[in-house]
Structure 1
């Protein structure tokens, strides 16, 4: 079984090798652990890109392999960020207040420190009371569990309701988008318990590691992001291989026929939808401490649409294609919108890429859809086709002219 799994997924070795080499090069050139040729901010950008690659791989399993165009997976990504962000804000604020109140004539009680933390965190929205959802904010272990449970339970409940009703196609996409929109609009409210439009900030400062420079923290998160991407890629390669992979691809191609063969289609779809949502939440928990801030705009439906565009440009139905698509588009977005791309003066008009990047992205998506539906991943087909196994075609079966392809035999 292991041999079959590795044989059917030769891309695993090459992907992990490329990821290991990339991680080594960035480490050697980083400011925190190497020569300093790569700035701390760019190391953070690369770490965030690895997290986006992971959620793109998860999206490819949902859309490219199972045929479910989910426009809500970035909501699960954002929820993972919110869950870990709650602990980061609470623990960091607790340390700061404990240090400032330690010099008081009368040492503060734990209840007074707790109330002061509430005032510090929620004063920006005119409150000082901790909402119920912050009940476990002081526990790192519980918040890590919530990183898994909150996206997972939401996906499980939503998927169970949708799939049992046999909602498919564009209607399911609209439902996932509506879920994402409702969640983002709720989080924009100040009484949501997550500071409304202000979101959670200062997440780059890890509690208890105030003396550690950001250059070191950035490379640590980069390593963690690379490890998570490697583990996620191997796991999803296993999911899409063997019997399960055949079933979910069959669901994508002809759901009715798979159901007629006796498979419980809804269970397979619910499993894929829930597991990919959990992985998206874990990716978000690694992403936002590197970004430093999260707000409801990160969960808006447009973010999930961008995710689908990344997968399409990379080539859906190929895990490495989805990862490459996310990496290419994310890094290009940072370059164009961050002022790296020079403006182009035309005399009568100057093209400023900060304004035209989304137009360029949209045109790229249309071009890939029409001209190269296999995306960036399709380029590897040109390489592998040159080394394809020769085939022999001959007459087989009781009737003359019945033909079947036999792989691995040279034509004589």
Structure 2
């Protein structure tokens, strides 16, 4: 019984987020420090120590960290191994890419038709835009899915709605049928493959395997140097990652987070206790799909191009590998895994890593990088299931708690000094 002089202890779910999830403040501080450093060292407003291409690489890495957060939410916390979240990532990129390509082409067509004796009609402008965009696939008319490509607000809404609605429909069909485990993973992979194969067709309305290109040229900013635009996108990516981390931490640290972790560990028991398991899983699946769409919408204007190969199932498998290497079930682990693997991939595949000569065998990292990545995934799974993030846990666990023999269990003498030192 608590005495009148003691202050009541607030339930865990009512404590401030920083107390329930201490990594939030640390993560935001490190992200802010990185943003300041990149800004100071950028070519746009700083010393120029960081090139524009490297600034874009860092911005894209932050976007990959955001989609890794979404993957960790759905897999590490809810137990759903989705092999389709990079499809939602790509759909977000396509949604914003349609407006970027439409508006940029419109400005070119309007400037070209302005030289004619008579001013062009809206129909002539629209036909000119369609011919410029779809001439590469032998078409000259806009497909129905381009009906709102002229509107930036509607396409921004599509960045969230299209992946979210696809995840909602797919998840509702899968979860209500109680498909779980490896069968659900296969279904998500099949969905991703079907979407990629459809987009490869020229009559898909998204230019087939040509994809959407020139996305780095933001309409209305033709006079702004790419160094400045890349820095703006880096800021936007950092802000999205920070907000995404806070949102995910808030979700997993409350009652909702306890329920989805219980679903991950023993779904049948949670259902027996009366919780609507399918509703929880559907919410997490849909929310993380929308987060992945936002990440893709920020990534591809920095990449400059998107095509159906970006949605292929292998991309979602890579995403799962990143989260596993970083440490699933830990938000910071997902970010660490995505950042480390993404930057290493850029270094190895960019030809910057020196070749390794082992007698008659010459290892060229451009060709062997994926082999090393797969081997790392196997080693982490076998010998370090906590991933890179587990190192942080290990350091934290080595610090002995200051219990000093206090009774910390339901009975006197429970978890006393000897157990506290373990």
Task: Name 2:145's counterpart in structure 1.
Answer: 133
1:310 partnered with 2:322: yes
Task: Name 1:250's counterpart in structure 2.
Answer: 262
**TM-score, normalised with respect to structure 1:** 0.96
Kindly tell me: are residues 397 and 61 of structure 1, through their superposed partners in 2, closer, same or farther at Cα, counting changes over 3 Å? closer
C-alpha contact (below 8 Å) 2:78/2:263 kept by paired residues: yes
Cα deviations by residue, 1:144-176 (Å, 9 ceiling, x for unpaired): 011111000000000000000000000000000
Partner SS state of residue 345, structure 1:
strand
The structure 1 residue matched to 2:69, chosen from 44, 57, 60, is 57
Distance in 1, matches of 2:253 and 2:355, equals 46
Mapping of residues 93-132 of structure 1, within 5 Å: 93-132=105-144
The structure 1 residue matched to 2:200, chosen from 185, 188, 194, is 188
Task: Name 2:297's counterpart in structure 1.
Answer: 285
Kindly tell me: are residues 232 and 406 of structure 1, through their superposed partners in 2, closer, same or farther at Cα, counting changes over 3 Å? farther
Task: Name 2:361's counterpart in structure 1.
Answer: 349
Stretches of structure 1 that go unaligned for 5 or more consecutive residues are none
Runs of 4+ in structure 1 displaced over 4 angstroms?
391-398
Mapping of residues 318-357 of structure 1, within 5 Å: 318-357=330-369
Task: Name 1:157's counterpart in structure 2.
Answer: 169
Kindly tell me: are residues 316 and 403 of structure 1, through their superposed partners in 2, closer, same or farther at Cα, counting changes over 3 Å? farther
1:380 partnered with 2:392: yes
Kindly tell me: are residues 327 and 410 of structure 1, through their superposed partners in 2, closer, same or farther at Cα, counting changes over 3 Å? closer
The structure 1 residue matched to 2:88, chosen from 60, 72, 76, is 76
Cα deviations by residue, 1:352-402 (Å, 9 ceiling, x for unpaired): 10000000001111111111110010000122123342444879778xxx9
* CA drift at 1:3: 3.1
C-alpha contact (below 8 Å) 2:63/2:299 kept by paired residues: yes
Distance in 1, matches of 2:112 and 2:134, equals 19
Task: Name 2:46's counterpart in structure 1.
Answer: 34
The structure 2 residue matched to 1:23, chosen from 16, 24, 35, is 35
Task: Name 1:206's counterpart in structure 2.
Answer: 218
Mapping of residues 257-296 of structure 1, within 5 Å: 257-296=269-308
**Larger CA deviation: 388-397 vs 34-43:** 388-397
**TM-score, normalised with respect to structure 2:** 0.93
Distance in 2, matches of 1:410 and 1:381, equals 17
Partner SS state of residue 350, structure 1:
strand
Stretches of structure 2 that go unaligned for 5 or more consecutive residues are 1-12
Task: Name 1:405's counterpart in structure 2.
Answer: 415
The structure 1 residue matched to 2:191, chosen from 166, 179, 183, is 179
Kindly tell me: are residues 404 and 4 of structure 1, through their superposed partners in 2, closer, same or farther at Cα, counting changes over 3 Å? farther
Distance in 1, matches of 2:193 and 2:217, equals 30
* CA drift at 1:340: 1.0
Kindly tell me: are residues 263 and 404 of structure 1, through their superposed partners in 2, closer, same or farther at Cα, counting changes over 3 Å? farther
Partner SS state of residue 405, structure 1:
coil
* CA drift at 1:191: 0.2
The structure 2 residue matched to 1:239, chosen from 235, 251, 258, is 251
The structure 1 residue matched to 2:371, chosen from 347, 351, 359, is 359
Considering only aligned residues, what root-mean-square deviation do their CA atoms show, in Å?
A: 1.8
Distance in 2, matches of 1:403 and 1:233, equals 39
Kindly tell me: are residues 362 and 397 of structure 1, through their superposed partners in 2, closer, same or farther at Cα, counting changes over 3 Å? closer
Partner SS state of residue 34, structure 1:
coil
Distance in 2, matches of 1:70 and 1:403, equals 45
Distance in 2, matches of 1:77 and 1:388, equals 42
